[in-house]
Amino acid sequence: MDKKRIVEPRTLPGFMELLPHEQIQFNHIKDVIRHTYEQFGFLPIDTPIIESSEVLLAKAGGETEKQIYRFNKGETDLSLRFDMTVPLAKYVAKNYNDITFPFRRYQIGKVYRGEKVQRGRYREFYQCDIDIIGDGELGIVNDAEIPSIIYNIFSQLDFGKFTIRMNNRKILSGFFNALDLQDKIVDILRIIDKIDKVGKDTIKEMLKEQGVSEDSIERIIEFVTTKENVIEYLKGLNIEDETFNTGVNELEQILKYVKAFGVPDNYYMVDLSIARGLDYYTGTVYETILDEHPEIGSVCSGGRYENLAEYYTNKKLPGVGISIGLTRLFYILNEYNLMKEDTKKSISDIVIIPMLDDLSYPIEVATKLRNKGINVEIYLENKNMKKKMNYANKQNIPYAIIIGEDELNTNTVTLKNMITGEQKNITVDEVSI
């Protein structure tokens, strides 16, 4: 036989592949998100990563379509999902008769976009989505529950103080309507978005270049910088626009209930400058900003939409939802060093180091501890003490149990705290962690 050709073992650029201790941290975040989604009664679904291109691209176009992984397998034109929303729309339309509405679902999984490769951009990344879908209608109170979910996730994850910013697209539309600037909303909001970076004066200059009148500019600046008593301020504008007033009403109701949902006052605010995807959201919109790092942008966003699945069904299916881009979030947490030092870095609670030829007793100890619900691994290789302890140290396992002749003869174990170095001789039943 020929000498084998060795292929360099590499992972594609734009694809995150973590070492085990990093993966444990990643999974911890994923577990907190899943657990919180379930605590709020969201049901799991798991749609395929591959869909028929005709189905997946029923709506898509422009930038998104170019990024899609699309290919033929035999005669079939296939695409990899690029978000969780389109598969949800397909799922709800397909299973309309088997679903109970309002349909509260979560989906956590990988999606694919062939973006230009650059630091912090991924072609394969996890999205963690929840949506509440109504059949024909969906009460506005649902929009008040969303900030509570965000609050629960990010306070458990403990990456530092954060603020959930909320707005309502109807208020934006109505306001710019009243200024007769509805055609320029997109451009104006893009400019406004830079206000924290470039300052008010530059913004005014840029709006002027857009042909916005001085009076309107003043009103716009006041509007987007009002952060307190927002409802009173909005009502005081006396704008006679139905959309505007509906939006103010919705926002008022949401603010009434957010507190009952347990979100502390200093964790949420109205920010009239945020808009999110302009062609998609139609009511409430959310962003979540890490207070110490606003430059990162939103780490959890979403909003209310009129109709989820218009490309698959004539049923009107309004919804509200949020998404966490977990892969990018994890990258950022590492870049900014925001991961808690004490985040669990090991899977095992205890590693057993046998110092005996016959491994029966150490194995019995492991079995007993596992039956108590403790994660235990045994170092089974026949190496010297140094190599064995070295393994325990490298794995960041908090406790080691050392078992030699003495322990065997006295039916005990030596439990060593790997952080303090403290150790004690006890029975297996006394082991607790």
Residues of span 54-83 touching its own copies by CB under 8 A: 54-55, 58, 69, 71-74, 76, 78
Q: Which stretch binds its own copies (CB under 8 A): 36-44, 167-175, 279-287, 423-431?
A: 36-44
In the complex with its own copies, the residue whose CB is nearer, 4 or 119, is 4
Shortest gap between Cβ of 157 and its own copies (angstroms)? 17
CB closer to its own copies out of 60 and 192: 60
Helix (H, G, I), strand (E, B) or coil at 28: helix
CA atoms of 260 and 226, how far apart (whole Å): 24
The dihedral region occupied by 282, where left means phi > 0, alpha psi between -120 and 50, and beta the remainder, is: alpha
Q: Which is nearer to its own copies, 207 or 400 (CB)?
A: 400
Q: How far is the CB of 394 from its own copies (least distance, A)?
A: 4
Q: Which stretch binds its own copies (CB under 8 A): 39-47, 227-235, 297-305, 332-340?
A: 39-47
Output phi, psi for 69, to 5 deg: -80, 105
Q: Are 191 and 181 in contact (CB under 8 A)?
A: no
Q: Please identify which residue in the block is written with the tokens 């394969």.
A: 124
Site string for its own copies, 324-363 (x = CB under 8 A): -----------------------xx--x-------xxx-x
Contacts of 141 (CB under 8 A, 6+ apart): 253, 254, 257
Task: Closer to its own copies by CB, 122 or 244: give it.
Answer: 122
Q: E strand or H helix at 124, and its extent?
A: strand 124-133
Whichever of 6 and 419 has its CB closer to its own copies, that residue is 6
Chosen residue from 75, 100, 405, 421 binding its own copies by CB under 8 A = 100
Rank residues 140 and 300 by Cβ distance to its own copies and give the closer one: 140
Residue position matching structure tokens 């490309």: 311
Show the beta-strand stretches assigned E in 134-216. Answer: 162-168
- Comparison of 49 and 339: residue with beta carbon closer to its own copies: 49
Q: Which is nearer to its own copies, 51 or 83 (CB)?
A: 51
Of 161, 194, 200, 256, which lies in the binding site for its own copies, with binding defined by CB under 8 A? 256
Residue 233 binds to its own copies (criterion: CB under 8 A): no
Cis geometry, peptide bond prior to residue 318 (ω within 30 degrees of 0): no
Distance from chain centroid for Cα 256 = 26
- Least distance in Å: CB of 335 to its own copies? 20
> Interaction with its own copies in 109-168: which residues (CB under 8 A)?
110, 112, 114, 123-124, 134, 137-139, 141-142, 144-145, 148, 152
Contact flag: residue 262 with its own copies (CB under 8 A)? yes
Closer CB to its own copies, residue 298 or residue 346? 346
The answer to whether 346 and 395 have CB atoms below 8 angstroms apart is yes
The answer for residues whose C-beta is within 8 angstroms of residue 85's C-beta and 6 or more apart is 129, 131, 308, 321
List, as one string, the DSSP characters of 342-384. Answer: TS---S-SEEEEE-SS--HHHHHHHHHHHHTT--EEE--S---
**Cβ 334 vs Cβ 327: under 8 Å:** no
Residue placing its CB nearer to its own copies in the complex, 195 or 363: 363
Name every residue whose Cβ is closer than 8 Å to that of residue 280 and which is 6 or more positions away in sequence: 303, 305
Of 70 and 184, the one with the shorter C-beta distance to its own copies is 70
Count residues near its own copies (CB under 8 A): 106
Using DSSP bridges, classify how beta strands 76-80 and 50-52 pair: parallel, antiparallel or unpaired. antiparallel
Closest separation between CB of residue 366 and its own copies, Å?
Answer: 8
- Min CB(82)–its own copies separation in Å: 13
Convert residues 276-295 into a mask of x (bound to its own copies by CB under 8 A) and - (unbound).
Answer: --------------------
The H or E element containing residue 251 is helix 242-258
Of 271, 287, 377, 407, the one binding its own copies by CB under 8 A: 377
With contacts defined by CB under 8 A, name the span among 243-251, 280-288, 304-312, 412-420 that binds its own copies.
304-312
Q: How far is the CB of 237 from its own copies (least distance, A)?
A: 27
Q: CA-CA distance, 143 to 254, in Å (whole number)?
A: 7
Q: How far is the CB of 341 from its own copies (least distance, A)?
A: 20
Least Cβ distance, residue 59 to its own copies (angstroms): 9
In whole angstroms, what is the distance from residue 371 CA to residue 373 CA? 5
In what side-by-side order are the strands of the sheet with 70-73? 50-52, 76-80, 70-73
Stretch that binds its own copies, among 183-191, 206-214, 312-320, 412-420 (CB under 8 A): 312-320
